[in-house]
A and B are shown apart, each in its own frame.
Chain A
Amino acid sequence: MLSKTIGYGLSGLEGFAVSVEVDISNGLPSMDIVGLADAAIKESKERVRSAIKNSGRKFEPHKITVNLAPADIKKEGSALDLAIAVGILKSSAQIKDAPDNIVYIGELSLDGSLRHINGVLPMLISAYKQGLTNFIIPKSNAKEASYIDGITVYPAESLKQVIDHLSGLYPIAPCEKIDFAVESKEKSYDSDMAFVKGQAVAKRALEISVSGGHNLIMVGPPGTGKTMLAKCIPTIMPDLTFDEALECTKIHSVAGYIKDDEGLLLTRPFRTPHHTATMIALTGGGAKLRPGEVSMAHNGVLFLDEMPEYSRTALESLRQPLEDGVVTVSRASGTVSYPANFMLVASMNPCPCGNYGSHDKICSCTPTAISKYRAKISGPLLDRIDIQVTVDNIKYSDIVSTEIGETSETVRKRVNRARLIQRERFKNDDILTNSDMKEKHIKKYCVLSNECEKILESSYQALGLSARARSRIIKVARTIADMSLSKDIKPEHILEAVSYRRMES
């Protein structure tokens, strides 16, 4: 008998329905799976056979043909196990009267239990867009699936439970919807601005960066708390909206980071790839077209600690995502796009020994060593970093503890306010933050008074700035003006922006 069951597949973050057709006929006992199935799927023969047997059903020795339609799209992974098992049970009349419109997702163990699948959330979202609304998924994926309105999701622990549900014997209770707005109030970060003592200038630079979406580099000797400061950044970024949370979770799910019983991401991602990260690890790709660190950092922060330590190729590969906010990975059979809109935060020492430019310590590096070190991050990548702040290890700030550190929450309120101004300003443009401004936006929204122009002019000469620094300084000044709720950019905004200039070598 021929049966059709709906399974689901994923290509990048987009899903597609797979019609699992099963035909059982007379002939020598065999099971063939066709339809461009990969090795994992071909192996499901064994898993499905054992699972069916261990669920108390019969696996008759017939000629079984399984077709995964459409036949010209590659199918990968083990998520089709459940659909194939149900298809075989339907074809052998061991499941009767199962509704046609259910999507079955899950990997089967030999004992019949259903195992966690990566990418359930994007699958469900895609399927919903295609008009599918009923799903049976592994129980450990249940939480992930509980945020989407308009669908009914049945979490199952085993094939037996699925069979009993379909026969009406023991119906499974559908997942209860989780209200993201309510749940996200319970989020907590490990870090907080209040935990960082002193470093008032660095904290201010952080606030400006986040308010305007500017990429940031912290320069200072080791042990000055650059990492600690970087970790505070997600805590002062505006709260994740539901859509942003969905986007991030989809990516994390595909990459296998949403573990059993975990739901939507509530906090912005903070990714710290190691220095040995390859280009593929950073931007994505590889045989399985996995999302890279830049996509994992989507809507969050990518922190490159000791930036000169990363390989040149790895750093170069960051250009496209920084430019476009998206990464396209290709393979012979096609391309997949992952979003990659992240804030880049980097840190570095002033020189290999750490003392260059100190007011009282002598740098022991040779001139060649210094320029070699700095040259590692020159060029287009550095061009995309609007703000540089020096972080020092002067312990004076420990002595002066009269300042009660502001909490991240206080700072975040101001950041939200500044972001609101930008949202309003750019409502008819295709950009979101001040740092995204191109020349035409700067001409429109950042008109400078004569006094401001004069200050900029004199800063080129006096401070050795290049003309390219001009648009960077103006954008940062625009953010500072927004933070002061000032409609116009005033001289003091330009002057403060100038102090965050990059030390061009």
Chain B
Amino acid sequence: MRTYDKKELAIILADTFDFLDNRKKLTIAESIANGISLKDALLSMKGDLLEEGLVDKAISCLNKDYLQSALDLLDKYGVTAITVFSKDYPEELKNIFSPPAILYAKGNLELLKTPNRFAIVGSRKSLPQDKTVAENYAKVLTENGMCIVTGIAEGVDEHAIKGALNSGKIISVTAGGFDKVYPKSNDELFSSVAKNGLCLSEQRPTVESIAYMYPLRNRIIAGLSVGVLVVSAGVKSGTFHTVNYALDGGKDIFAIPHAIGVQCGEGTNKLIKSGAFLTDEPNDILSYYGLEVEKEETKKVEELSAVEQPVYDKIKESGSIYIEKLAELLNKRSFELLPILSMLEIKGLIIKSADNFYTCV
């Protein structure tokens, strides 16, 4: 069980009062830093900043048992509280606008000290190939000295996590509390991250995620990272929050280009037009941040047989091709191509979508 000093305890207590937003918590933190007690800090805010009744009620709660129950809650979920007073509090976060007064963490706290933390974000609904891209980038970047920061949503987040899990260099920031991870289908994934990487949240474990918490969470993702990769985004995607926070902090934005007419590519293409870096291989990012590539990407060196090569080449030409068209171009019957396509799939060179299109990865 982790022990907290007086100042940290004060913030932990303050966070149990839902009527205090981050701004007010920071104000309280300032008072605490100046030696004022939590009780007095609250009293001084009574009237102009805070409603009288709420303050009185809060103060009446301040006792040993209340504190103990708050700490017990943290214990129950295996969570460590990191306040602005903690030594574990990441320096970079102190520089953002409205840094979180308190963060709840579960997992490997060392990750808060690694340099080269990089965010991978994207829409929840994307093309099959976008998911492979997210996973691949996460894998290669973590194999070469970076740590990935992302959310816990389905789609890009999920695959970025999958790619990074092996290396353990993964930080997932959730919008709600750890007990109420959304979507529920990613419960297992969340547990894996807590075990091998680090989970962070600005909310207490039992707090359910509400819409306004998502942009707030995104500022933390942006704040923790040196740069952001947007894998897929529609025109109105929530990833733009993350991008804007990152830009405010002078961070770099990278985006994956998409073909014209693809809904989840309209956002990323727009970013590129506005000046984000176009990237189509993880090496772009590694070399930008001056990281040596320690492990060669093995997949490109695959030997293809005489029957496989022409098929692969034709797919690569169009990027994405319908099976009947592929058959026509190769002058074969479409089912004759199935064994070759299966082999290319097994080798990880192409993926098949549910509408019989084959795409290069």
Contact = CB atoms under 8 A, between A and B. Distances in A.
Interface string B193-236: 00000000000000000000000000000000000000000100
A495 B359 CA distance: 18
B335 A359 contact: no
A366 B124 CA distance: 10
Interface stretch (A42-50, A71-79, A93-101, A393-401): A393-401
Contact of A390 (B128, B129, B333, B354): B354
20 contacts: A198-B324, A200-B333, A357-B355, A359-B355, A360-B262, A360-B263, A367-B185, A368-B184, A371-B185, A390-B354, A390-B356, A392-B354, A400-B324, A455-B343, A455-B346, A463-B345, A495-B338, A495-B340, A499-B352, A503-B354
A491 B339 contact: yes
Contact of A495 (B184, B185, B328, B343): B343
A367 B338 contact: no
Interface string A210-254: 000000000110000000000000000000000000000000000
A361 interface: yes
Contact of A459 (B322, B328, B342): B342
B312 interface: no
A200 B324 CA distance: 8
A397 B356 CA distance: 12
A206 to B, nearest CB: 11
A207 to B, nearest CB: 9
A407 B22 CA distance: 72
A356 B335 CA distance: 23
Interface in B70-121: none
Nearest to B186: A367
Contacts of B325: 396, 400
Interface in A351-397: 356-364, 366-368, 371, 390, 392-394, 396-397
A394 B333 CA distance: 17
Interface in A482-499: 491-493, 495-496, 498-499
B357 A359 contact: yes
5 tightest Cβ-Cβ pairs between the two chains A and B: A357-B354, A495-B339, A359-B357, A204-B335, A359-B353
Interface of B: 125-129, 154, 183-185, 234, 259, 261-264, 320, 322-325, 327-328, 333-335, 338-343, 345-348, 352-357, 359
B342 A496 contact: yes
Nearest to B357: A359
- Most central of A201, A364, A393 by chain B CB within 10 Å: A201
A363 B125 contact: yes
A201 B353 contact: no
B260 to A, nearest CB: 10
B338 A201 contact: yes
Given A204-B335, A495-B338, A394 B356 contact: yes
Contact of B356 (A201, A356, A366, A493): A201
Contacts of A368: 183-185
A452 to B, nearest CB: 12
Contacts of B154: 367
B183 A357 contact: no
Contacts of A390: 354-356
A400 B185 contact: no
B264 A362 contact: yes
Contacts of A393: 355
A400 B320 CA distance: 18
A169 interface: no
A201 B334 contact: yes
B324 A362 contact: no
A367 B342 CA distance: 27
Contacts of B183: 366-368
Given A368-B183, A400-B324, A392 B355 contact: yes
Contacts of A361: 263
A360 B327 contact: no
A167 interface: no
Contact of A362 (B263, B339, B355, B357): B263
A330 interface: no
B271 to A, nearest CB: 18
A88 B97 CA distance: 105
A190 to B, nearest CB: 26
Contacts of B342: 459, 495-496, 498-499
B343 A358 contact: no
A201 B323 contact: yes
B324 A462 contact: no
Contact of B346 (A363, A367, A396, A459): A459
Given A360-B127, A493-B339, 15 more contacts: A204-B334, A220-B354, A358-B354, A359-B127, A362-B126, A390-B355, A396-B325, A400-B324, A462-B346, A462-B347, A491-B339, A495-B338, A495-B339, A495-B343, A498-B342
A488 B259 CA distance: 44
A358 B352 CA distance: 9
A495 B343 CA distance: 7
A463 B125 CA distance: 21
Interface string A192-211: 00000010110010000000
Interface in A8-56: none
Contacts of B259: 360
A492 B340 CA distance: 8
Given A358-B353, A368-B183, A459-B346, A397 B324 contact: yes
B125 A394 contact: no
A390 B355 CA distance: 7
B335 A496 contact: yes
Given A200-B324, A359-B127, A360-B127, A394 B355 contact: yes
B261 A462 contact: no
A203 to B, nearest CB: 8
A502 to B, nearest CB: 13
B10 to A, nearest CB: 40
Contact of A462 (B185, B348, B359): B348
A361 to B, nearest CB: 7
A164 B264 CA distance: 84
A394 B320 CA distance: 14
A400 B328 contact: yes
A106 interface: no
Contact of A360 (B261, B345, B346): B261
A350 interface: yes
A458 interface: yes
Contacts of A458: 346
Interface in A313-371: 350, 356-364, 366-368, 371
Nearest to B335: A204
A491 B183 CA distance: 41
Contacts of B322: 392, 394, 396
B334 A357 contact: no
Contacts of B264: 362
A459 B128 CA distance: 18
Contacts of B343: 455, 495
Contacts of B333: 200
A201 B339 contact: no
Nearest to A457: B346
A140 B127 CA distance: 62
